[in-house]
Structure 1
Amino acid sequence: MPERSLKDKTAKGLLWGGINNGAMQLLNLIFGIITSRILNDTDYGMVGMLSVFSLIAGSLQESGFTAALVNKKDIRHEDYNAVFWFCSGVSLALYLILFFCAPLIAGFYNQPVLVPLARYSFLGFLIASLGISHSAYLFRNLMVKQKALTSIIALTVSGIAGVVLALTGFSYWGIATQSIVYVAAVNLCYLYFSPWRPTWNINFRPLKGMIGFSSKLLVTNIFTHINNNLFSIILGRYYSEREVGQFNQANKWNLMGHSLISGMVNSVALPVLRQVSDDTGRQQRVFQKMLRFTAFMSFPAMLGLSLVAPELITIAITDKWLPSAHILQLLAVGGAFIPVTNLYTNLIISKGKSNIFMWNTIAQGMVQLITMYLLYPYGIHTMLAVYVAVNIAWLGVWHYFVWREIRLGFFHALKDIFSFGIIAAAVMAGVAFITRPIENIYLLALAKILSAAALYIIILWASGSVTFKESLQYLLKKKA
């Protein structure tokens, strides 16, 4: 019965995670298309230069306490309250530091206009700090439906605000405002859905039991954000804001793609893997099942995005963004492996090994930083190709640590991952070949999408894929 209960909870969480992320990406797509048609690559480039600072500040304010609260066996009001007040205080201090450092940031990029824009944009992470404990409560208790509704509401409100501001000529100020409106709406929804409330009885002693675990996640998250934003930093320093804008546009579409799968899996992975962490055999079975499902979803979605990128970008946001389509094709190949890597890191965190998570992420980030710095004179596409290759190859390093924890053999994992990857790659290559004669861009995009989807489903059905049939049965049962 416990096995069945966990399976049902996981399936329900994945379903709501899918609804959440599907709705999020659809809304992102709609509002992104509208604003991208109104604004230009320079507008996106200006905001993109600041993104890494906001993300690092966001990691510092959160300090890894969300995962620490989820991993804690016995939890009390005092734990959430200590995290709330600590994160709020740290966030205020960070904002003041960045406020006065804004001229230095603008000087690094040689863009004086970034001074007021930075001081305004950084308000976002200050507001976000107020919702960390509420978010952890929803996450720990697998309240995926509530988090899904939160995301949908916040994206709708902020998307409308972004479009209105773009239409009224606010350019990059509108993009910054859209982000601030989003985090404010998220916090209000978290406050509504979560029964937990902060109190004025401030006591930081509960943090002592979490600080060793969370501090390593903090360092890890900082390096993850640096790693994910290397191009924005390097391009902003050595290239024009237009090239930064083209890259950020491509990266936005890539993020929409792999976040759909990552968000779905991440909504349940850590809590579920944590529940079975005391039984290695059971945890291995649960992990493998999640691994197969992640690969089953990720490879066709992301390789399909790479396949249709030129048509998609041209149709959606006009050919002024066509250079970003070629960048997107490379990013999407690497993006296919990101949800898989995220699942590996969730397993490591569920075992309480935040030190492994930290050092391996730092090592990966340092390799990429050095490589990108050495390669920037050779152009964006060369840097991207090597960046993607390093990310894919590093999955083998993550697997080594997972093997040490649950003894999952390399070739067993390889079979789980690449059985879907090879099928998806073969399908996309075949579709690219057979659709070459089509000249009309709309027919070409439609033919690619329908042909790839049909071929992938037919091959999985014919091969007797258990993951595919179980997913289909669950969806049909829910509809019935």
Structure 2
Amino acid sequence: MSSKGNLTQRTLHAAKWGYLGAAGKLLIQLGSQILLARILGPAEYGMFAVGAIVVGVANYFADASIGSALVQRKQISDDIVRFIATWQLAAGLVVTAVLLLFAPHIAGFLTHPEATPLLRALSFVCLISALTSAPANLLRRELNFKALQLGQLAGFAVGYLLVGIPMALAGAGVWSLVAAWLVQASCTLVLVWKAARPPIGLRFRADDGVDTLKFGGHALLSNLATWSGSNLDRIIVSRAFPAHELGVYHVVNNLVSTAITQILSTLQAVTFSSTSQVSADAQRIRASFLTAAEAAPVVVLPIFATLAVTAKIVLIGLYGTKWQEGVELLQPVALTAAMYGLSGTITPLLWASNHIRHESRVQIISSVLIGVACYAAALQGSIVTVAWALFGVASMRYAYLLRFAARSYGVPLKQLGRHLMAGLLTTALCCVGAWGISTLLEPVLLAAPVLTLLATILTCGLVLALSVACAVRFAASDAFRALVKGFIAKRRKTAAPDNSA
């Protein structure tokens, strides 16, 4: 088999396991979050949100962002693996120590000093994440998403199903969320290390070590900007609103971000791993961009547009009436997630083709705009206004990244427009169907919220499937149609032994 064909098959195999694992994690995360939210309530989740905000940004420093070099480099050695793992360990120790020492000041800055003990406990997540990075990226390099996803899936199952929910039922309150996160991260670390078996040892110097650290620096800036774009609004909300409202904001955002994170984590990793190996081939990179530009709107946009249309049924059906104040909030949050999802499909292509510096600058500018827009919106005293401001900035960022990538890969705007039409058609059909379904079922929502939700999911799922089938028939990209057929062919061979694992 040719190297191109072998890479295609490995990519499809990686994507299959990536999305199987992502689907499993999505079910576990959403299921456990729903149960925990029903048990704990908005105030408890508001306290946990403070810790999640801080650890979210701290994790980027702990990871040092150089682990992705293990995927991006053409060749690696045991020395470079040890070098990267050593610097990540050092960064993880420093970040953990900083959080332990300065937790009172950080919690005070966020106007929730009572969250200090939570911050100190969650600081160890940063050290665990730093230790996980090198073996996880080795698995991504080999496109071994089967082992990676199984490890992560087991971690989520143990952490949230076996630890978090029982502790919450026993009355542990917010500490059930803390324990679940720590156990989940620890289990994933053990299983990923066992699968990757990276070389062990400390090494602070290596050939091309300086270039690796520079790459990590640019990746860190990009990742921090990405985090800021996704979480700067939460910092502003934390400082401007009480814990109860912060809890509602956190749960609504988690409902959406859990889905988009699982979709993007696999899609970005597979795309980055595969395109990095053909980054010198301009035609193949251009074809990858056109396929991504067409496939992403077909997959991402209809899902979250449907979620925005059916927001009331989804929120009350999942969390109950005590969370219904988040209905108006879920609409802009869902649309913002769609914009982040679409932007996230372009990012790995830019990284693989050495446009990481430009992408980092775009992220930084977007973060500044988000900070200004959300702060101005928070002054109006409404969390919903903050969410709509975030959606506006996210939309502009996606439009700019799409235009920049098209220009970089020599794609005319007219051709790009043809590749976007399938996604827009799918979204329009799904929104019309979702509106009709919501109008029909909302009168019985309060009487039977769960049944109403299930009926909505089934009917909207059918509408989505029919809409996607229609879009695929009229897709502009042969590669997109071939990719869909490849997934279908893979699923039809489930009875045959899988020798490519």
TM-score by length of 2: 0.90
How far, CA to CA, are the matches of 2:194 and 2:261 in structure 1?
A: 25
Structure-1 residue corresponding to 2:10: 9
Structure-2 residue corresponding to 1:33: 34
How far, CA to CA, are the matches of 1:232 and 1:460 in structure 2?
A: 34
How far, CA to CA, are the matches of 1:382 and 1:221 in structure 2?
A: 26
2:440 counterpart of 1:432: no
User: Which has the larger displacement, 467-476 or 222-231?
Assistant: 467-476
Where does structure 2 lack aligned partners over 5 or more consecutive residues? Answer: 494-501
How far, CA to CA, are the matches of 1:205 and 1:147 in structure 2?
A: 28
How far, CA to CA, are the matches of 1:473 and 1:6 in structure 2?
A: 13
How far, CA to CA, are the matches of 2:486 and 2:418 in structure 1?
A: 23
Structure-2 residue corresponding to 1:367: 369
* CA drift at 1:471: 2.0
Which amino acid in 2 is paired with 1:479? R
How far, CA to CA, are the matches of 2:173 and 2:417 in structure 1?
A: 46
* CA drift at 1:291: 3.0
How far, CA to CA, are the matches of 2:366 and 2:30 in structure 1?
A: 31
Structure-2 residue corresponding to 1:302: 304
Which amino acid in 2 is paired with 1:8? Q
Instruction: Indicate how the Cα distance of structure 1 residues 7 and 201 shifts in structure 2: closer, same or farther if over 3 A, else same.
Output: closer
* CA drift at 1:220: 1.8
Instruction: Indicate how the Cα distance of structure 1 residues 341 and 390 shifts in structure 2: closer, same or farther if over 3 A, else same.
Output: same
Q: Is the 8 A contact 1:99 1:118 kept in 2?
A: yes
Structure-2 residue corresponding to 1:474: 487
* CA drift at 1:352: 2.1
User: Which has the larger displacement, 427-436 or 181-190?
Assistant: 427-436
SS of residue in 2 equivalent to 1:199:
coil
2:387 counterpart of 1:410: no
Structure-2 residue corresponding to 1:386: 389
SS of residue in 2 equivalent to 1:66:
coil
Where does structure 1 lack aligned partners over 5 or more consecutive residues? Answer: none
* CA drift at 1:49: 1.5
How far, CA to CA, are the matches of 1:271 and 1:80 in structure 2?
A: 17
* CA drift at 1:444: 4.1
**Pick from 389, 394, 397: which aligns with 2:400?**
397
For residues 395-446 of structure 1, the C-alpha deviation after alignment (integer angstroms, 9 at most, x for no partner) is 1221233134311233433432342134223322343135414322255434
Structure-1 residue corresponding to 2:223: 221
Structure-1 residue corresponding to 2:466: 458
Q: Between Structure 1 and Structure 2, how many residues are aligned?
A: 480
User: Which has the larger displacement, 453-462 or 110-119?
Assistant: 453-462
Structure-2 residue corresponding to 1:319: 321
Instruction: Indicate how the Cα distance of structure 1 residues 434 and 139 shifts in structure 2: closer, same or farther if over 3 A, else same.
Output: closer
Which amino acid in 2 is paired with 1:440? V
Structure-2 residue corresponding to 1:345: 347
What is the identity percentage for the equivalent residue pairs of Structure 1 and Structure 2?
A: 19
SS of residue in 1 equivalent to 2:68:
helix
* CA drift at 1:299: 1.8
How far, CA to CA, are the matches of 1:80 and 1:232 in structure 2?
A: 35
How far, CA to CA, are the matches of 1:325 and 1:13 in structure 2?
A: 36
For residues 195-217 of structure 1, the C-alpha deviation after alignment (integer angstroms, 9 at most, x for no partner) is 32312455355521212221011
Structure-1 residue corresponding to 2:499: none
* CA drift at 1:169: 1.5
Mapping of 1:63-462 within 5 angstroms?
63-159=64-160, 160-200=162-202, 203=205, 206-378=208-380, 379-433=382-436, 435-438=438-441, 439-441=443-445, 442=450, 444-462=452-470
Q: Is the 8 A contact 1:52 1:225 kept in 2?
A: no
How far, CA to CA, are the matches of 1:280 and 1:296 in structure 2?
A: 25
TM-score by length of 1: 0.94
User: Which has the larger displacement, 191-200 or 231-240?
Assistant: 191-200
User: Which has the larger displacement, 457-466 or 29-38?
Assistant: 457-466
Which amino acid in 2 is paired with 1:419? A
How far, CA to CA, are the matches of 1:191 and 1:470 in structure 2?
A: 32
Instruction: Indicate how the Cα distance of structure 1 residues 268 and 40 shifts in structure 2: closer, same or farther if over 3 A, else same.
Output: same
For residues 4-35 of structure 1, the C-alpha deviation after alignment (integer angstroms, 9 at most, x for no partner) is 22222222222111101111101112211211
Instruction: Indicate how the Cα distance of structure 1 residues 342 and 462 shifts in structure 2: closer, same or farther if over 3 A, else same.
Output: closer
How far, CA to CA, are the matches of 2:131 and 2:315 in structure 1?
A: 37
2:63 counterpart of 1:62: yes
Instruction: Indicate how the Cα distance of structure 1 residues 203 and 3 shifts in structure 2: closer, same or farther if over 3 A, else same.
Output: closer
Which amino acid in 1 is paired with 2:186? A
Structure-2 residue corresponding to 1:51: 52
Q: Is the 8 A contact 1:304 1:428 kept in 2?
A: yes
Q: Is the 8 A contact 1:227 1:365 kept in 2?
A: yes
* CA drift at 1:161: 0.8
Q: Is the 8 A contact 1:213 1:352 kept in 2?
A: no
4+ residue runs over 6 A deviation: none
SS of residue in 2 equivalent to 1:436:
helix
How far, CA to CA, are the matches of 1:460 and 1:53 in structure 2?
A: 39
User: Which has the larger displacement, 229-238 or 196-205?
Assistant: 196-205
Instruction: Indicate how the Cα distance of structure 1 residues 167 and 419 shifts in structure 2: closer, same or farther if over 3 A, else same.
Output: same
For residues 200-256 of structure 1, the C-alpha deviation after alignment (integer angstroms, 9 at most, x for no partner) is 455355521212221011122122212211222111111111111001000111012
Q: Is the 8 A contact 2:64 2:87 kept in 1?
A: no
How far, CA to CA, are the matches of 2:487 and 2:135 in structure 1?
A: 31
SS of residue in 2 equivalent to 1:180:
helix
Which amino acid in 2 is paired with 1:233? I
Instruction: Indicate how the Cα distance of structure 1 residues 375 and 128 shifts in structure 2: closer, same or farther if over 3 A, else same.
Output: same
Instruction: Indicate how the Cα distance of structure 1 residues 107 and 256 shifts in structure 2: closer, same or farther if over 3 A, else same.
Output: closer
Instruction: Indicate how the Cα distance of structure 1 residues 382 and 470 shifts in structure 2: closer, same or farther if over 3 A, else same.
Output: same
CA RMSD for the aligned pairs? 2.1
Instruction: Indicate how the Cα distance of structure 1 residues 342 and 93 shifts in structure 2: closer, same or farther if over 3 A, else same.
Output: same
